[in-house]
Structure 1
Amino acid sequence: MNRPLIRRLAVLAAGASLMGLAACATPSRPDAMALAATPALTAAPGDVGYHSVTTVNVSGGNDTNPLWTAQVSNADFKTALESSLAAAGYMGSEGRPMTVTASLVDLKQPMVGLDMSVTSQIRYSVSREGQVIFNETVSATGTATISEAFVGAERLRLANEKSIQENIRQFLTRFRATAR
């Protein structure tokens, strides 16, 4: 076989391997999905749920396979949701205990794209003493642009995080509006 051809193939194989490593999918980060405290979302004394959420249950998430696409795991989503509830003044044991259950129904992700938009659909249920006081499915979209991350796997992770963060924001907004 021709030596220059073998060298070229070896260089191409090495380059492809390095590109593959650079494009490994990484899991979504809880801190990037969580909401900070904002006056519009923060519960005050006397509001339904103020310092009353004692339990958060999460299901439907998937762990990220580094060789495939970024996902949102149950553990990371739960951490982000608990952080957001705490920042909004809902976590605690001062009032009648409440349970928040969130089920990630769907995470619609693109396979490729310059700007990647991910839409999350999450079913939230809030119960107190066995009675459901909130039960809605929230759909939200998050978009990451090529200017935010050149590598597609990183862009997808950012879009996942933005979608989940916006989903949590909409949940808290709807809960506050209906639970007054």
Structure 2
Amino acid sequence: MRRLAVGAAVVALMGLAACASPSNPALMTLPATPGLTASSSDLGYHAVTTVTVSGGQGTNPLWTSQVSNADFKTALENSLAAAGYMGTEGQPMTVSASLIDLKQPLAGFDLSVISQVRYTVTRAERVLFDETVAATGTASMGQSLLATERLRMANEASIRENIKTFLTRFRARAR
């Protein structure tokens, strides 16, 4: 009887360990990156005052890790700040990001997630940038043995790469 109780407790703890966890905004944030940081002569330098995000989903612990609007917004704002775009100098700009798709695998050893986000940058009701960006993030077995954790890590890597691609394209267009 005691072995049965211990076995049931172990199974219950393993079930809890396999619960999906939400994405971490800090791990989706792109740090200051050479070549992507705005200078005072660049369009948008310290001018982004508003960031809106839509299309995200909260994580259901019994299903799979997702990216919520709040977490994506925090990561995008922090990435824009690190790149020198957030601020109140010049004419205010708005960045809108709509998470169109988060293609996640059902299973696997190395998990790759493809995020597709439409970014729109406006200033005084004029559209300065309007593109859809797709990016891939991968997490390997070496990073975590738990598939739920690898999926979360792949989500975070995909969003971070997506933000990086957006900043690269915006910066190229803003010159």
TM-score (structure 1 length as normaliser): 0.93
Instruction: Give the match for residue 133 of structure 1.
Output: 128
Of 92, 99, 102 in structure 1, the residue corresponding to residue 94 of structure 2 is: 99
In the alignment, structure 1 residue 174 sits paired with structure 2 residue 169 = yes
Larger Cα Rg: Structure 1 or Structure 2?
A: 1
Q: Which moved more, 1:91-100 or 1:15-24?
A: 15-24
The residue type paired with residue 48 of structure 1 is L
Instruction: Give the match for residue 62 of structure 2.
Output: 67
The residue type paired with residue 18 of structure 2 is A
Of 13, 21, 27 in structure 2, the residue corresponding to residue 26 of structure 1 is: 21
SS at structure 1 position matched to 2:143: coil
Runs of 5+ consecutive residues of structure 2 not aligned to the other structure: none
1:159 Cα deviation from its structure 2 partner: 0.2
In the alignment, structure 1 residue 154 sits paired with structure 2 residue 149 = yes
Mapped to 1, the partners of 2:161 and 2:149 lie a distance apart of 18
Measured against aligned partners, the alpha-carbon deviations of 1:159-178 in whole angstroms (never above 9, x if no partner) come to 00000000000000000011
TM-score (structure 2 length as normaliser): 0.96
Of 22, 38, 48 in structure 2, the residue corresponding to residue 53 of structure 1 is: 48
Extract structure 1 runs of 4+ deviating beyond 3 A.
6-15
Runs of 5+ consecutive residues of structure 1 not aligned to the other structure: 1-5
Of 12, 20, 23 in structure 2, the residue corresponding to residue 17 of structure 1 is: 12
1:111 Cα deviation from its structure 2 partner: 1.5
The residue type paired with residue 59 of structure 1 is S
The residue type paired with residue 56 of structure 1 is V
Measured against aligned partners, the alpha-carbon deviations of 1:112-136 in whole angstroms (never above 9, x if no partner) come to 1100000000000000000101000
1:18 Cα deviation from its structure 2 partner: 1.9
Measured against aligned partners, the alpha-carbon deviations of 1:92-148 in whole angstroms (never above 9, x if no partner) come to 010110000000000000111100000000000000000101000000000000000
1:14 Cα deviation from its structure 2 partner: 3.6
Mapped to 1, the partners of 2:174 and 2:3 lie a distance apart of 66
Mapped to 2, the partners of 1:105 and 1:9 lie a distance apart of 47
Computed over aligned residues only, the root mean square deviation of the Cα atoms, in angstroms, reads 1.3
SS at structure 2 position matched to 1:36: coil
Mapped to 1, the partners of 2:43 and 2:89 lie a distance apart of 11
Aligned length: 175
1:17 Cα deviation from its structure 2 partner: 1.9
The residue type paired with residue 153 of structure 2 is L
The residue type paired with residue 90 of structure 2 is G
